[in-house]
Amino acid sequence: MDLQKLQKETIEKILLLNQTKTKQINMKWKILIYDTRCQSMLLPLFKVQDLKDLGITLHFNIKSKRESIKDVPAIYFVAPTEENLNLIIEDFSKDLYDHYYLNFSPQVSTESLQKLARSLVDLKMIDKVSSIYDQYLNFYSLRPKLFELGLTSTYYKLNTSTNQEEVEYLLEKTAKGIFSVFVTLGVIPIIRAQEGNAAEYIAQKVSEYFEQNLNPKNVNSQGGGTKNKLFLNRFNSLAGNFQRPVLILVDRQIDFNVLLHHSSTYQSLVYDTLKVESNRVGLRTKKETNSKSKNEKENENENENGETEMNNMNEYEILPFGDGSWQKDPNEKKKWDVNWYDLSEDDPFWVENRAKHFPEVLETISNTTKEISKKQEYVTSMNTLKSSGNDKNGKGIEKEQGQEQGNTINSKMLKNSTLDMIEKIDIIPELQRLKSQQEKHTKLALYITSQLESRQLDEFYTNEIMVMKSEYTSSNEREEITKLIKSKRGTSNDKMRLLLIWYLSKTELSEEHVEKIKNVASNNNCDISSLLHFIEMRKFSLNSNLNNNSSKGVFKTFGRMIGKGLDNMRPSNSGKILPITRIVSSIMEMKGEKNDSPNKSFLYLDPKISSSFKNSSIPRNKTPYKEAIVFVVGGGNYLEYQNLYEYSQGQIPKKSIIYGTTDIINAEQFLNQFNNQKN
């Protein structure tokens, strides 16, 4: 299952107006109109040239001011929000384009569709509508087996809000996003879900959406008509041809450490220290201020092996692009060169090295620099030989003797020149690719190194590992953690990450001890909002055990799950298998006969079977699963994704696991959900 490929193919079909590329040859112009959310969906999938190859000459945000372009069809790819629908109606009123192909990323409601139809009839523009489609593409495919829904601050909203309607809206939006993933995959899963919280509610909703579209009685229930019938036929044609995958839904509470822990892999450090959106990261580099040219600087930085030293490159000041607010100052803007880099499957260095520990990556970057230098020297030597009139064996062509000297010289010169040209054609593009790749990863590595040194992240990493593995004695643990929090090392969020890992690792703490923790943190400029949240949840957990009828917020069982899940937050003895991977392994391989094992305790739903059946009476699949879609409610990260990937590749035969979440977040973003409720 390659979700990214399937989503790209679906969007290509939209851009080709449901025609083949060969039939599109005669169509000179097509305009693409998107909203910001759909633009973000396109970014990981298409480059500008890809859009041109599909006949898209111009593309605009729906909110931008646009001139009328007659005799040109416009493709709209937007969410069916009230604002977008009003903008579409406004475009019709201005008669901007020849024909309109309307594509909505999630399903458009019947009410919205009726409003749009009435407006177009009033404008006498209904004949300009060529098609209207629900595309069920309301998710971001970041990698072939990784997606997110782009719903921000979901953990905070789901676990602190007392507004029932707000929470249910978010849960239904999540369920619809998951459902759209399966529409794109074209499969009907078995659903397993953690009980007692958001995951269970979402599982029920996803199952309902399947039932609505699989049951012939419901085909016209929402006014969908042919649309739903086509959708129904699609599933019927696929059902039963292969083993069905399993959808495993879990809540973020299964493991907080994986979000908070300072990791040592290249991938996790990139996402931990930089803002990455739609697989793109922005860096700004201070422009040269002295008279030396760039080539002179590079020559100075090369050692005797022709290798550019990373230490010498530290003179370049590199900062993240951030939110771009620094560009508002014209003088500041002039000081920086800005580069945007893709971290995608098209970058072989990234794919090969992202899961490696950062010191290994630094060594690889150094070795790659040597390789580039050797190739550069070889190309230079070829030019030198050619200009000096020597062939590759070092013989001067002017010294050739023989009866047919003139013909021999001309023939040999032509042969050598042709061979040189062929070799250059092969080497130079590869050399340019390597140099571009090297520049990207050298700058990323330099910035990460600066963060490791300035924040002394190795100290936090080491202490967190010792806490999670219970390698400290109680007195030493408190002393070392207090010392680190009081020190000037790290940011306030670095300190809170360590403190929360320590707090969550303790099953029992006195109120006096908790007060000391709070005071140490707050007295050292740490925002303790996140700590207060977990302290409150721990108290609620204890109260829930005494009184099952007590409630807090929307979900009554949250505190109980926190208390019950504390042991699960600790790493396994191997230190390599994360809690989410243990859950997935148990369900996929049908392991664990105890009632508390995920294979036995998780909710079991089959969308092909009526929801009127009780969970215990549904006939269950008894064959180990080959494919799974794992979804985390409340935020996920790349460590979990990588851990599941490594598990899937280590099985015989290999398993296929797609990892999804409401939003991919790093520790900073997680903590900022509590810190003044920043996103």
- Nearest alpha-carbon partner for 477 in 487, 466, 491: 466
Identify the weakest region by mean pLDDT among 225-229, 340-344, 643-647. 225-229
Identify the weakest region by mean pLDDT among 108-112, 300-304, 619-623, 635-639. 300-304
The pLDDT tens digits of the residues spanning 658-678 come to 999 999 999 999 999 998 664
The Cβ-side half-sphere exposure at 504, using a 13 Å CA radius, reads 34
**Residue 182: per-residue pLDDT:** 94
Helices (H), 123-249: 154-160, 164-185, 198-214, 226-238
Domain-wise residue ranges, the chain: 3-138, 142-255+578-672, 266-394+405-454, 458-568
Quick one: average pLDDT of 53-71?
92
Taking domain 142-255+578-672, whether its CATH number is 3.40.50.1910 is answered by yes
H or E segment at 438?
helix 405-455
For residue 425, name the pLDDT band (cuts at 50, 70, 90): low
Quick one: average pLDDT of 225-236?
44
Q: How far is CA 502 from CA 224, 461, 506, 528, in A?
A: 53, 12, 7, 14
For residue 260, name the pLDDT band (cuts at 50, 70, 90): very high
Q: Are 272 and 667 in contact (CB under 8 A)?
A: yes
Quick one: average pLDDT of 268-282?
90
Quick one: average pLDDT of 596-600?
75
**Residue 388: per-residue pLDDT:** 52
Is residue 90's pLDDT more than 80?
A: yes
CA angle 646, 649, 651 (to 5 degrees): 115
**Residue 142: per-residue pLDDT:** 94
The Cα 290–Cα 287 span in angstroms is 9
Identify the weakest region by mean pLDDT among 168-177, 374-383, 445-454, 563-572. 563-572
Quick one: average pLDDT of 438-452?
91
Q: How deeply is 87 buried, as exposed, middle or buried, from its count of CB atoms within 10 A (0-12, 13-18, 19+)?
A: middle
**Residue 678: per-residue pLDDT:** 47
For residue 424, name the pLDDT band (cuts at 50, 70, 90): low
Percent of the chain beyond pLDDT 90? 49
Spell out the CATH class of 3-138.
alpha beta
**Same CATH fold assignment for domains 3-138 and 142-255+578-672:** yes
The Cα 497–Cα 260 span in angstroms is 5
H or E segment at 342?
strand 336-342
**Residue 594: per-residue pLDDT:** 66
The pLDDT tens digits of the residues spanning 9-48 come to 999 999 998 776 655 555 568 999 999 999 999 999 999 9
Q: Give pTM, 2 decimals.
A: 0.84
